Amino acid sequence: MGKQIILTEVGPRDGFHNESKILDTATKVALIEASIEAGFKEIEFGYFTNLEKAPSLADVEMVYEKIKHHKEVKLKALIEDAEGLSRAVDAGVKQVKMSVSASNTYNMKKFNMSNEEKLRAIEKLVQEAMSKKIQISCAVSTSFGCPYEGKMTPSKIDTIASRLVEMGIQEIYISDTAGMGNPAEAENIFGFFLDKYPDRLFSAHFHDTRGMGLANVYAAIKVGVRRFDSSFGGLGGCPYVPGGKGNVSSEDLIHMLEEMGYQTGIDLDKAIQIGKKLETIFEKPMNSYVLEAGKSSELIRT
């Protein structure tokens, strides 16, 4: 199996989304451009939604307009509904991402829709996006456990994922939204999907809520996953764990992968610099081990 791993930097959306301090557009653009400069080829840069749902991301159009675009860099926006898609289209966005939970209770709470209603809404968005030649991906959230319904199984997740596959979606994220997953589940769930749908891309989105973020990544790699989300500085939280840690930190993930001999194409030192900048910007330590401990390869010269 290959040693190339593709990371998507989700900090500009998933990270900033969860921070109460709102950054100005120029700062966001600088951090996104620094991530591109570090080597990220995929970035989740924003969320086309209303002010109430994401006050810290309200300038999404301006951010997209000001980023220096590169042919080889995919800039993905989260959308939720027709209005969000329409705004993304108007802004010239070429990649959009949606989300549906594997849990009916979660879909009801978050979207006020049942699984079936949400899937039908997604289908319409997929058709609309495809008609406009916009790449559309979708996350199956709470796949490693829902804070209301508890654990999921591959077959339960597949009641959602199979429909996304039928709709023609090429990339599906299996997301541990509530940070409840463990590596045995990562192996089991990703093993199931990579085996069942060899013609689709399955990406892993892990949180480090209970310390298993990197363990889950390792387990997923072992069964063949080569696409992971991560967030600079480990920014982003778990909405069900007040103060709990969120996304796996990009620096820690790059560090682990490079230490194991995988190639990410990302310059770890530059990623660490971004993490340090975030500590200054947000005036707090990040959820990142290598920012504190340094790289394993940094030896004491005597």
Q: Where on the chain is the footprint of its own copies (CB under 8 A)?
A: 105, 145, 147-150, 179-185, 208-215, 217-219, 222, 238, 240-241, 243-245, 249, 252, 255-256, 259-261, 289-290, 292-297, 299-300, 302
Query: Pick the catalytic residue: 138, 174, 238, 272?
Result: 238
Considering the complex, state which of residue 169 and residue 186 has its C-beta at the smaller distance from its own copies: 186
Whether the Cβ atoms of residue 190 and residue 225 lie closer than 8 Å to each other:
yes
* Closest separation in Å from C-beta 260 to its own copies: 4
Considering the complex, state which of residue 86 and residue 105 has its C-beta at the smaller distance from its own copies: 105
* Closest separation in Å from C-beta 283 to its own copies: 18
Query: Is there a catalytic annotation at residue 238?
Result: yes
Phi, psi (deg, nearest 5) at residue 276: -65, -40
* Closest separation in Å from C-beta 262 to its own copies: 9
Whether the Cβ atoms of residue 225 and residue 8 lie closer than 8 Å to each other:
no
* Closest separation in Å from C-beta 21 to its own copies: 21
Considering the complex, state which of residue 111 and residue 289 has its C-beta at the smaller distance from its own copies: 289
Whether the Cβ atoms of residue 211 and residue 252 lie closer than 8 Å to each other:
no
Considering the complex, state which of residue 270 and residue 295 has its C-beta at the smaller distance from its own copies: 295
CA distances from 189 to 88, 152, 163, 193 (A): 32, 9, 17, 7
Whether the Cβ atoms of residue 208 and residue 228 lie closer than 8 Å to each other:
no
Whether the Cβ atoms of residue 77 and residue 96 lie closer than 8 Å to each other:
yes
CA distances from 250 to 27, 51, 88, 184 (A): 19, 27, 26, 22
| Residues annotated catalytic, as ranges | 238
